[in-house]
Structure 1
Amino acid sequence: MKKNIQSVRGMNDYLPTITLLWQKIESTLKKILYNYGFNEIRTPIIEKTILFHRAIGEITDVVEKEMYIFNDRNNESLALRPENTAGCVRAAIEHGLLNKEQRLWYLGPMFRYDRPQKCRYRQFHQLGVEVFGLSGFYIEAELILMISRWWYSLGITKYVRLELNSIGSIESRIKYREDLLKFFEYNKNKLDEESKNRIYKNPLRMLDSKNKNIQNLLIDAPKIFDYIDDDSKIYFTSLCSLLDNFGIKYDINHKLVRGLDYYNHTVFEWVTESCGLKNTICAGGRYDNLVKQLGGIDTPAVGFAMGMERTIMLVQETNHEFILSSSEFDIYLASFNTENNKQETLIIAEQVRDAFPNLRLIVYHGSGNFKKQLSEANKYGAKVVLILGKNEIENNQITIKNLYTSTQETISRQSMILYIKKLLN
C-alpha cells in the first residue's frame, strides 16, 4: 500500500471549522482598513532573491538561515517571500506609485524555514500595512490607533501590550553599534560560539536574544537611547506624548530593535503572553531609507505586519463569543424528501437569498427525517428553520421555527419574506 502524502512540515491546512473564523476576523480588520483610507495591493509570493538581500540585509537570520531559495529554469535565484515590505517597495518603485502619498495593505502567506512550534510555522500569514510619502510621528500614531481599534473590534485589547523604542538615525546607530561590539568583545568569554560569530555580523541582533545568559549580560550593555541624536529623542517623546493624549498604554523597551535592518526612528511591537509564552503578534516601524536603498526616489515610509495565526489563536483562547458568532448560520431550510419538494426548496432558498443577500442560508439535501434535520440546524447554530413539508406544499405555505424561542408558525408563502424580516429584526 502506498503511503499517504501529507502536508509539508510547518505548513498547515486550515479546514472549514477554522476558516469561517479566519474570514470573520479578516472581514473585521479589512473594514477598519477601509475606514482609515487604505487600499489593497497584491504582490507575488515569489521574488528575486537579491531583493531580500538588499532590503533585509545579508547578515540576518532571515537571509542566512530561513529563506526558501531556489534557481528557476533560467538559473535565476528566486525566493519565497519571508516578509512583504520589500515586495511592496519593489512594486511601488516599478509601477511609479511614489509620486504621491500611498496607503497600502496586503494579506497573504509568507515563508521562513524556522523550527515549527506553537504560533510559529514555516508558512504563515500576515496582514500588513505600508505608508509611503509621509514623514513625522503623526502617521505613526494613527497606525497605532488603528491597530488599537483592531484589538478592540476583536475583543482582545486587555490581552495585548504595546512596546515602543526609538533606534534613532542611521548615523547614531553606527556609533552605538561600534560601542556595543566593543562591549561584547570585552565580555567574549561569556558568549557561546554562535553569539561570538554573531557580534561581528550584526551585534544589534543580540539585543533581542532569548538566551538567558545574554539577557543577563545586556543589563550592563550600552543603551541605544543614550546614543540617538537630540532630534530623534524629541521625535520619540512627541510620539509618546501624543499616544498618552489618546489613552494608549505602552512600555518603552530599549532592547527593541526589530529583526530587519531597514528600520530607523520608531519601532514597535504588540506582544501577548496569553498563548503560554511571550509572542509578538504585530510589529513594525519607520524605514525612511529603504525605498532609496532599493533604487527608488528618497521616500519616507512606515509600516507594520500582523501575524494572522497568532492573532486568531489569541481570539480562540480569549473571546469565545466572537468564535461562536463566526460559525452560525442565519437560516436552515428543511424539506420533505421528494423530487418536487427539492425543486420547491431551491425556489424558496433563492427567494430568501434575493431578499436578504447578507444572510447565511443552508439547504438540506439529504434523506433524513425532520427530527434529524432540526438536529442538523442546531449543529449549524441556525437562528431560524424554514420547514417545507407535504402539507406546506399542498397549501402553498411554509412553517417558520424560531430556534431561540422554540416557537413556530405556519404562514402563506406570500408572507414569508416579510415574516422573516420581522423575525430577524
Structure 2
Amino acid sequence: MNLPRGMKDFESNEQAKIEFVRQKFLETCKSFGFSFMSPSPIELVSVIEAKSGPAIRDEIYFFKDKGDREVALRFDFTVGLTRYVVSQKSLKLPAKIASFGGVWRYDEPQKGRYRYFHQWDIEVYGKPSLESDAEIIEFTSKFFSKLNLKNIVINISHRKLVEAVVKKIFESDEARVVGDIFRAIDKTQKKRKDEILTEYDQKGYPKEKLERILEFSKIKGSPEEVEKEFDISGLDAWKELKDLFASLKNRQVNNVIVNFGIVRGLDYYSGVVFEAFDSASDVGALVGGGRYDNLPKAFGRDDLGATGVAGGAERIVLSLESQGLQMPDAAPTVSVLFVNDEMLAPAVGITSKLRQMGIATEMDIVGRPFKKQIEAASNSRFAVIVAPKEYSSNNVIIKNMGDGSETIVSVDSLLSQAESLFIR
C-alpha cells in the first residue's frame, strides 16, 4: 500500500535526529527567554487567507468539516501564534513565543522538504523595534552554533529599501509593478538571468530596467562594501539596516551579510527580511524570517508589531549530515544479554534497574539464543552479559561493542556506577 505523494514515514533514526534538533532548539529558547507553546494544528481557511490571500489554497491541505466549515491543516506556526496573541488582550508585551512541530504544505516535494515536515519557529510581538529584529537574528545564529553547524551565513535585506529602488528604476508606484519586479528578484535564486529577462520582456517590462534591478539584486557584502558598490543616499531604510548590523556586531553575531536579492513573502513582510544558508551545501535556505507588522493588522490589532523566523528541521539534519556531525540515533546505549534461560530473570532485573536510572537499555523479549542476542546488540555501545559462572559470584561481563574489550564487574558496582560506566 502506498502513501499519498509527498508524504513519508519517519523511521526511528530519522526521528531521533529531528528530536536532537528539537532539543537544541528548546535549549536555545530557554537561554533567550522564549516561552514554548503549540498552536492548533487546524485553522479556519479564512484565518490562513488573512496572511497569504486566496491563492494560498493552492498550497495548503483544506477541507470541509462535519459542521460544513472550511478548515485547513497547519501551514506554518506564524498564523496560529499571531491569531492567539491578537486574541489575548491582557498578554504582557513584548511576547516572545516559540513552537516546534509538524506542518503540511501542498507544494512540490523537494530535497529536505516533503509535504509534511517539522518546523521550528520563534516570534516576538509588541512595539516594533530594531532590537526585536536583532534578537531573532541573534537567536538564529546562536541556534546554529549550538548545533555545531559551520559555514552558516545569514543574508539580510530590507523590503522597504528594495521597494524604493524598484519604484525609482521603474518610475512607478503601482503595486502591480512592484509585485512583479519583486517576483523577478525572487526568481534569481532559481532561474538564469536570460530566462527572467525573456519572461518579463513578454510582460512588457523594458530590458534595460530589468537588467539594472537584477544587477542590484546581486549586491552582497558588509554594509561598508555595499556603500562602495551602490549609491544608497536618500534611502531611509538603509540607516535601519546599518543600525541593525551595529546591534548584531554588539551581540557578537558576525556571520551576517547584506543581500538585496532576499525579498521573501511578497505581500507579507514589511521591513527587515533574512534567510540563512549553509554556504557549503546546495540544500537551499535553512531558515527564513523578518518583520511582518501587516499580519496583526489583518487580524485587527493596529497596535502590535511582529517579527519572527522559522526553519525546517529536516533541512538542518541534511546539513548536519553533510558536515559529518554526530547526532544520536535510536540505538540503545546498553543491551543486556543472558546466556541461558536460567539467567533470564536476573537479566530482566538488571535491565529494569538500568532503565530506572535513565540509561537507554534493551534486552531480548522473544527468547532468542545467545548468539542471536549478540548480533542484535551490535548497534549498542555496550553489552551487559549475564552468564552462569560470573553471576554465581554476583558479577556480570561488560562488553564494549566498539572495540570488543570485556570487563568483569560486580552487579552492585554496575548499578552504583552505571553512569560513569556507560555515559561517557
- TM above 0.5, yes or no, is yes
Q: Residues of 1 paired with 2:322 and 2:232: CA distance? A: 41
Q: Residues of 2 paired with 1:411 and 1:81: CA distance? A: 53
Given that 1:166 and 1:265 are in contact with CA atoms closer than 8 Å, whether structure 2 keeps it comes out as yes
Going from structure 1 to structure 2, the CA distance change for 1:422 and 1:112 (only over 3 Å counts) comes to closer
The CA deviation at 1:135 is 2.9
Structure-to-structure mapping, 1:24-423, within 5 angstroms: 24-58=20-54, 63=56, 65-96=58-89, 98-158=91-151, 160-168=152-160, 173=163, 203-209=181-187, 210-212=190-192, 213=194, 215=196, 218-221=210-213, 231-245=236-250, 246-272=252-278, 274-275=280-281, 277=282, 279-319=284-324, 321-323=325-327, 325-338=328-341, 341-354=343-356, 356-357=357-358, 359-378=359-378, 380-382=379-381, 384-404=382-402, 406-423=404-421
1:351 counterpart letter in structure 2: K
Where does residue 195 of structure 1 map in the other structure?
A: none
Residue 12 of structure 1 aligns to a residue whose secondary structure is coil
Q: Residues of 2 paired with 1:227 and 1:121: CA distance? A: 40
Given that 2:138 and 2:253 are in contact with CA atoms closer than 8 Å, whether structure 1 keeps it comes out as no
Identify which of structures 1 and 2 has the higher relative contact order when contacts are C-alpha pairs closer than 8 Å and 6+ apart.
2
The CA deviation at 1:390 is 2.4
Given that 1:54 and 1:294 are in contact with CA atoms closer than 8 Å, whether structure 2 keeps it comes out as yes
* Deviations, residues 221-248 of structure 1 (Å, cap 9, x unaligned): 3869989975432221111123344251
Going from structure 1 to structure 2, the CA distance change for 1:414 and 1:74 (only over 3 Å counts) comes to closer
1:207 counterpart letter in structure 2: I
Structure 2: gaps (5+ residues): 198-206, 218-229
* Deviations, residues 23-68 of structure 1 (Å, cap 9, x unaligned): 122112211111211111111222111112222234x6xx153122
2:365 counterpart letter in structure 1: H
Residue identity over aligned pairs, in percent, reads: 25
When structure 1 is superposed on structure 2, of 396-405 and 307-316 the one drifting more is 396-405
Q: Residues of 2 paired with 1:177 and 1:375: CA distance? A: 65
2:312 counterpart letter in structure 1: G
Given that 1:69 and 1:78 are in contact with CA atoms closer than 8 Å, whether structure 2 keeps it comes out as yes
The CA deviation at 1:335 is 1.0
* Deviations, residues 110-134 of structure 1 (Å, cap 9, x unaligned): 2222122323322222101111115
Where does residue 17 of structure 1 map in the other structure?
A: 13
* Deviations, residues 75-99 of structure 1 (Å, cap 9, x unaligned): 3222223222111110112244644
Given that 2:276 and 2:285 are in contact with CA atoms closer than 8 Å, whether structure 1 keeps it comes out as yes
Going from structure 1 to structure 2, the CA distance change for 1:247 and 1:412 (only over 3 Å counts) comes to closer
| TM-score normalised to structure 2 length | 0.82
When structure 1 is superposed on structure 2, of 253-262 and 208-217 the one drifting more is 208-217
* Deviations, residues 299-321 of structure 1 (Å, cap 9, x unaligned): 121101011121111112222x4
Q: Residues of 1 paired with 2:232 and 2:48: CA distance? A: 28
Q: Residues of 1 paired with 2:66 and 2:178: CA distance? A: 36
Residue 243 of structure 1 aligns to a residue whose secondary structure is helix
Residue 127 of structure 1 aligns to a residue whose secondary structure is strand
Q: Residues of 2 paired with 1:230 and 1:201: CA distance? A: 19
Going from structure 1 to structure 2, the CA distance change for 1:278 and 1:350 (only over 3 Å counts) comes to closer
1:330 counterpart letter in structure 2: T
Given that 2:112 and 2:283 are in contact with CA atoms closer than 8 Å, whether structure 1 keeps it comes out as no
| TM-score normalised to structure 1 length | 0.82
Structure 1: gaps (5+ residues): 186-197
Where does residue 204 of structure 2 map in the other structure?
A: none
RMSD across aligned positions (CA):
3.1
The CA deviation at 1:366 is 4.0
Residue 109 of structure 1 aligns to a residue whose secondary structure is strand
Q: Residues of 1 paired with 2:233 and 2:22: CA distance? A: 38
* Deviations, residues 172-207 of structure 1 (Å, cap 9, x unaligned): 94x66666776899xxxxxxxxxxxx8586542232
Residue 280 of structure 1 aligns to a residue whose secondary structure is coil
Given that 2:334 and 2:380 are in contact with CA atoms closer than 8 Å, whether structure 1 keeps it comes out as no
